[in-house]
Every structure is written in structure tokens, then in C-alpha cells.
Amino acid sequence: MRTVGVPHPRLPLPEAGQGDDLAAFQTWLEEAIPLLPHLGLEGMAWQDDTLVWELTLAPNLNDKGTGFGGSLNAQTTLIGWCWVTLWLRARQRQQDVVVAEASQRFLAPVRGDYRLECCPQDRHAAATLAERLDERGKGRITLLQRLYCGKRLCLEACGDYAVLPEA
């Protein structure tokens, strides 16, 4: 059980040149963020530079029987945090990541299980972040999140994530 004010132990970095085992990362994440096991995350995968989550609707229902905006908001924020954290880990960096700003636009009700995708806002964003980290030890990146129920786009979100200097 987590204790308020006590950081959760970090997950060891993967071996250089190796990506994270996403199932092991998800298990660690479920321990580190107690809300996560209640959000219906079935699995995560990389598709090029896009982190993709598969989610079930049942634990995220609102009173109308559709997706609860608060859950969807939490998921968009968290997938962005995971994108940056996993990106850093692949580069052998263990730095704290925080969301600095986020916005969502709800386009259609979520009426079934869904897919959440997260990628950089522009194709140069990751390279720019890498340069800033090398120069200053900290940086920011803007990520886009899109939620699809089948082929229907139901939610678009945007988050600005800050990578803090190493302690």
C-alpha cells in the first residue's frame, strides 16, 4: 500500500539499447499509481512513435452509461506521462516528469471499449527535447492524445509535459 508523501521506488532502467518490457512497466505503474488498476487498462504497445493503450469501458462508466469524462481525462494525462517516462528510460535517463498544462475536447460519447493513442505534437518534438536535456538537463514536450471507439474519434487532448532536472 502506498503512503502519502513517500515516493514509490523507481523501476530499474532497461539495459542500454533495449526498450522496456511494457507488461512489467504496467505492473510497476499499477503499484506506483493506485488509481491505474481501476481505469480498465488492458495493455499498451508502441506503434512507431505512438504509445497505444487498449481500455475497457466498464470501470469508466458515467451515469448515462457512456465514458466518464473524469476517467478519460485521467487516462489522457497518464498516457502522456508514460510516453515521456518510457522515452526517457529508453535513453537511460531517470528523471521526473510532470504535466504542466493539459486540455481536452470531447467530440462524441464513448459507448464501448476503446483505444487511446499518444504521440508528439510535431515530428521534431522528441529531437528538440533530447537537445534541451543534453544542454540544460531539463525540457518540455507537447503530446497529442486521441481516443477512438472503433474508428470513431471521441476525444482529442493535448498535454505539455516537463522533464525536471535530475535530483
At the fourth CATH level, the homologous superfamily of domain 22-163 is Hotdog Thioesterase (3.10.129.10)
pLDDT band at 166 (very low <50, low <70, confident <90, very high): confident
Edge-first strand order for the sheet with 152-163 is 41-47, 50-55, 114-120, 139-149, 152-163, 97-106
- Dmax (CA) for the chain in angstroms is 50
**Which pTM value belongs to this model?**
0.96
Which tens digits make up the pLDDT trace of 39-52?
A: 999 999 999 999 99
Instruction: Give the per-residue pLDDT at 19.
Output: 82
- 116 in Cβ contact with 147 (< 8 Å): yes
**Residue in this structure with the C-alpha cell 481505469, named with its chain if needed:** 39
Instruction: Give the per-residue pLDDT at 89.
Output: 95
Instruction: Give the per-residue pLDDT at 56.
Output: 98
Instruction: Give the per-residue pLDDT at 15.
Output: 84
- Interatomic CA distance for residues 137 and 70, integer angstroms: 33
What's phi and psi for 17, nearest 5 deg?
85, -5
Which tens digits make up the pLDDT trace of 18-28?
A: 788 999 999 99
